[in-house]
A and B are shown apart, each in its own frame.
Chain A
Amino acid sequence: MLVRILVLLYLVGAPALAQTLCQPNASNGYRVRISIKTALGNQAYEWNENEMFLFQATMAFAMRRYYKTETYNVDNIIVCNQTRRVSFWFVVISPENPTMLIPKADVEKAVSALTTRLPCRPMSNSMSRHRINNAFLLTDRTLEFLGIHPTLAEPVNPDTPPWLIVFGVVIGAVFAGIIALLVSSLLQKRRKEKGMMEDGQDEEDRQMKGVENGINLDGIYNRGFTDDDRFTKL
């Protein structure tokens, strides 16, 4: 009898107790704000009890991943104070002891799932958060845990900055162009000189014959000025 009453009390009292555990501005609770229309626009789904059930399930999943030994269930995630905005408060109770709330810090860690054992890669730091977001087709901005800041993506540092690669290509092409230009102009010059030298030989011979004291003697000899008159006629 007593056992039956206790069981009855437990069945009735536990949710009531749980409800008293979950309150707005509870010290160990988090407020969640969901903006489905902002994220999905026309393809937005409606937030209803089933979606809430999924949320509780994903939170239990996150807690299970963090506390690898304990098995959390949907009942361990208590939700209250749901508004039309779609925002609500939730608290997590321990599976062994229904009156014990999991501290805020642990819940935060479970959601963000920071693990130091994994090598640093983007996204692995917030694996659980990523999975939670994906379950609802939302992002860190549209599924907000007020008080938990989305962890910053690890900056990807490549060994060579990409701009240096492009710069290397361009400058290589430019210098190749300069060398090609200089080589071609040298070749042109040499070809010109060679051509001129062959012509130059003929030019020189021709010039030697006609030039004396800078005066060109190619003209006609003018008989008007012969030496006949050297001796004056007496």
Chain B
Amino acid sequence: MRCLQVSNQDLEERIPSYEELEKLENEEAGDRPKWDNKAQYMLTIVGFCVGLGNVWRFPYLCQSHGGGAFMIPFLILLVLEGVPLLHLEFAIGQRLRKGSVGVWSAIHPYLTGIGIGSMCVSFLVSLYYNTIMAWVMWYFFNSFQETLPWSQCPVNANMTGLVSECERSSPVDYYWYRETLNTTPDIDNTGGLQWWMVLCHVSAWALLFICISRGIETTGKAVYITSTLPYAVLTIFLIRGLTLKGSLNGVKFLFTPDMNELMNPTTWLDAGAQVFYSFSLAFGGLLSFSSYNSVHNNCEQDAVIISIVNGATAVYAATVIYTIIGFRATEKFDDCISGNILTLLNTFDLPEGNVTENNYDQVLHSLNGTYPEVIQGLNLKTCDLNSFLSEGVEGTGLAFIVFTEAITKMPVSPVWSVLFFIMLFCLGLSSMFGNIEGVLVPLQDLGVFPKSWPKEAIAGTTCVLCCLVGLIFVQGSGNYWLSLFDSYGGSIPLLIIAFCEMVGVVYLYGIDRFNDDIEFMIGHKPNLFWQITWRFVSPAIMFVIFVFYFITKVQETPMYKAWNPESENFPTLEEKEYPSWIFAIIFILAGIPGLSVPLTAIYKCLRNRCCKKDNEFKQDDLNTIIYLIHLVILFKRI
């Protein structure tokens, strides 16, 4: 079959030549949008890369994989995996000056599938990511009260006591699972649409629409705020956090190195995955953004700077988060000890001040010696600072349960709450810009919308569509759907696409041509480091991570954690198995974007084969006709 040959002789016809690029650059012709200045571009990319994952995934990984020791695999993989991939995407986007579908179909028509896969993943991620924004907005709206609603349990209907579900768990848990999400006990019960969440959902999409309605013209202005505000808020929280009692316990806990974790392959795997997802690679957004740059922009420098900024932000955010977590854990520990001390004082009628935190253990020991049965009957709680520090601290649990609880213990809580949720909103919104870019530009390239439609209409239609589909996530069971999409839609396909990107550029586009392009753009050829990482190291790392991820996901039975007030271990979340029809959904989420690469290639190949003969025929026909016309003209003259 002719299409199996990796022939790329028509490549020059599909991509702009150097002369054309220079012309575009000098005359500023062409209708492609451009960045107003370099700062806008950098802020947009930083905003896209720095997202919620830096705040609520990285600190957890750091702390659970040996604290300071986690930095080692993280930094190594940042350099070997993150920076080369980033540089590749920047360079190829800047050179070919198209969105993801355009770039890959220009490199080779059979690779259009990569672009389509990127678009599908961006679409799936945009759907659920904006629901998280809706949750953040809900908490933000509710922060404008003197007593934060999640600081105390509501009173039950007969006013005899507190609501039972709240009493058994905690006010923050109750507020998150019941008053915000109104979760159902399992994914089969949809629970219906929660009207307050629908309002927040619509407002999140409306706000996003304003910011992206004219592409980078509007996004470029919005990022001045959305990309810089999180840093300001993090600094404020750092200063506030360091002045709170117990904050240094948290920081110590975070960074205390445990070198044994380096022997554990999961640490390296998690580090690699975190670097990869943190850089928002393979979404197509980075390609798009860098294609609006001028041709001679120094993309190598940009890649290095962005990587450093991303890594530094992750570490900085982790420090801030853990000062606050340290404060919360210390408060809980103090409360626990005080509760125990009070129980002892009350039972044995000892004067206050006899038992303090310092002599608690001694006194308990001596009392246990003399009155063991009484002590047993008291059911004193074991107070362990480390267990409080490692409580449920990743993902939405960190932001909406642990951190909100910590905020209620700080003086002037509403201010801190407002600041925190504005920060989360900005982090998420700037990432959404990149996600939506990865959806809109391929749609335009594929010609899905009529050319006469203005940008605002295209953006508006996409937002309305996503908003409607996203209503799945504001039902009662929405939280379970969201974690399903997150685990399967936003993980495996990206790894496949990134691997194909590297292979496509290095082996199909040609690494020599790519080197020449970069020399043309920035003035010097990429050095040995880039050559080795692009050709061997980064694809190998991607492949290894993909294989391990795939094997792990396929081997384990998919489970999810449900909030079920009827369960035995309430308030611990109940682990449940997914029902069988979920597997179809999982296949759609993970399979379609991943399989789009080979499927599109096969489709294009078949179409090429059956249409090629017709093309040749038509060409011959045309030649004959022209010849006949020439003959007629000649005869007429004679």
Contact = CB atoms under 8 A, between A and B. Distances in A.
Interface of A: 33, 35-38, 83-87, 152, 154-155, 162-167, 170-171, 174-175, 177-178, 181-182, 185, 189
A185 B456 contact: yes
Contacts of B454: 185, 189
Contact of B352 (A38, A165, A175): A38
A167 B352 contact: no
A178 B206 contact: yes
A170 B204 CA distance: 10
A1 B353 CA distance: 54
Contacts of B161: 152
B207 A174 contact: yes
Contact of A181 (B138, B145, B154, B213): B213
A85 B142 contact: no
Interface string B154-177: 110001011000000000000000
29 contacts: A35-B352, A37-B352, A37-B353, A38-B338, A83-B349, A84-B351, A85-B350, A85-B352, A86-B351, A87-B346, A87-B349, A152-B155, A162-B142, A162-B144, A162-B145, A166-B140, A167-B141, A167-B200, A167-B203, A170-B207, A171-B203, A178-B209, A178-B213, A181-B213, A181-B214, A181-B218, A182-B456, A185-B456, A189-B454
B199 interface: yes
A193 B295 CA distance: 31
A33 B346 CA distance: 8
- CB-CB nearest 10 A-B residue pairs: A163-B141, A37-B352, A84-B351, A85-B349, A166-B141, A83-B349, A163-B142, A174-B206, A177-B210, A167-B141
B214 A185 contact: yes
A175 B213 CA distance: 13
A31 B555 CA distance: 62
Of A33, A163, A170, A177, chain B has the most CB atoms within 10 Å of the CB of: A163
A174 B213 CA distance: 13
Decide if the interface of chain A is mainly helix, strand, loop or mixed. helix
B152 to A, nearest CB: 9
A163 B207 CA distance: 17
A152 B159 contact: yes
Nearest to B156: A152
Given A84-B350, A152-B155, A178-B213, 19 more contacts: A35-B352, A37-B352, A85-B345, A85-B346, A85-B349, A85-B350, A87-B346, A154-B159, A163-B196, A165-B144, A166-B140, A167-B141, A171-B202, A174-B206, A177-B210, A178-B210, A181-B213, A181-B214, A182-B456
B221 to A, nearest CB: 12
Contacts of B200: 167
B315 interface: no
Contact of A155 (B154, B351, B353): B154
Contacts of B209: 178
A181 B210 contact: yes
Given A155-B154, A163-B141, A174 B352 contact: no
A85 B351 contact: yes
A124 B637 CA distance: 116
B637 to A, nearest CB: 9
Question: Which of B203, B210, B352, B456 gathers the greatest number of chain A CB atoms within 10 Å?
Answer: B352
B21 interface: no
A166 B142 CA distance: 8
Interface string B218-242: 1000000000000000000000000
Contacts of A181: 210, 213-214, 218, 456
B342 interface: yes
Nearest to A229: B637
B342 A175 contact: no
Contacts of B213: 178, 181
A86 B138 contact: no
Contacts of A85: 345-346, 349-352
B206 A171 contact: yes
Nearest to A181: B213
Given A178-B209, A189-B454, A170 B141 contact: yes
Contact of A174 (B141, B210, B345): B210
Interface in B556-603: none
Interface string B181-198: 000000000000000100
Interface string B120-144: 0000000000000000011011101
Contacts of B138: 163
A185 B202 CA distance: 23
Contact of A35 (B207, B210, B342, B349): B342
A189 B350 CA distance: 83
A120 to B, nearest CB: 10
B342 A38 contact: yes
Contacts of B140: 166
Given A152-B155, A155-B155, A86 B352 contact: yes
B198 to A, nearest CB: 12
B352 A36 contact: yes
Contacts of A175: 206
Interface string B429-452: 000000000000000000000000
